[in-house]
Structure 1
Amino acid sequence: MAKILIIDDSKTSRKILKNLLQAEGHEIVAEAQNGEEGIKKFEECRPDIVTMDITMPVMDGIEALRKIRNIDVHAKVVMVTAAGQANKMYEAVKYGASEFLAKPFEPEQISEIISRILED
């Protein structure tokens, strides 16, 4: 099972992801409310996987993704997007996002994505 960092400005989204991932047996090593805080948590915890919202205050997910990948080029980051953010998804791919998860999502989707990343 994986050590996971959840970065999302929505407390509800963090709680949903945390509950789903813990039910799958994963460990949530930290949570962050924005990209800047997320980078600090990434450096402290060195998680196996990061789930990160694209749209956040202070520092958005794209900028945080770039900085996390500068810290660890092998970092596995799942970008969580709202519908209609195709341009942001292309930008995230350019900076090394591992996978995408569109809101609203089904529990099976996050489970499948995490399994795929762990197999790589």
Structure 2
Amino acid sequence: MKVLVVDDTAFMRMVLRSLLEQMSHDVIAEAKNGKEAVDLYSRFMPDLVTMDITMPEMDGIEAVKQIKMINKDAKIIMCSAMGQRQMVLDAIRSGASDFVIKPIQKERLEEAIDKVFGFKTAVARN
């Protein structure tokens, strides 16, 4: 599966890339803000986007809205810190498919991907 990873911190992008690659997904691009995310989405049309909420230039909620205008069927999983419940609800209302709470656990990310796509993504669960 082709994935676009969006987070304003390089460390979190690295963590997400590592987890996704362990699940045999292909991270085709990374963005550090919502504006980059929308541009990269339209260029690469990935199967899945992992999207941070709080970012400079354009937040994740606005980016979700814009990506959904490009492709109403876009699959987007929000990645949020604890305490951002209202933002998560806003993101879901804007079109996000699911959310995971930071720090991101591999099992929870797998579960979210399975839920969004309706199948088991893990080749082998340890």
Equivalenced residues, count: 119
Find the counterpart in structure 2 of residue 26 from structure 1.
25
Q: Per-residue deviation at 1:104?
A: 1.1
Find the counterpart in structure 2 of residue 66 from structure 1.
65
Deviations 1:38-58 (A, max 9, x none): 100000110011000000001
CA RMSD of aligned residues (A): 1.0
Distance 2:19 2:102 in 1: 14
- Does residue 55 of structure 1 match 2:54? yes
Q: Per-residue deviation at 1:118?
A: 2.1
- Does residue 6 of structure 1 match 2:5? yes
Q: Percent identity among equivalent residues?
A: 41
Deviations 1:37-96 (A, max 9, x none): 010000011001100000000100011011001111000100111111111111111111
Distance 1:113 1:93 in 2: 13
Distance 1:11 1:40 in 2: 18
Q: What's the TM-score once normalised by structure 2's chain length? A: 0.91
Amino acid at match of 1:81: S
Find the counterpart in structure 1 of residue 87 from structure 2.
88
Distance 2:26 2:96 in 1: 21
The secondary structure found in structure 2 opposite 1:38 is helix
The secondary structure found in structure 1 opposite 2:58 is coil
Q: Deviation above 3 Å: which 4+ runs of structure 1? A: none
Distance 1:27 1:7 in 2: 14
Distance 1:50 1:5 in 2: 5
Q: Per-residue deviation at 1:105?
A: 2.2
Amino acid at match of 2:30: E
Amino acid at match of 2:11: T
Structure 2: gaps spanning 5 or more residues: 120-126
Q: What's the TM-score once normalised by structure 1's chain length? A: 0.95
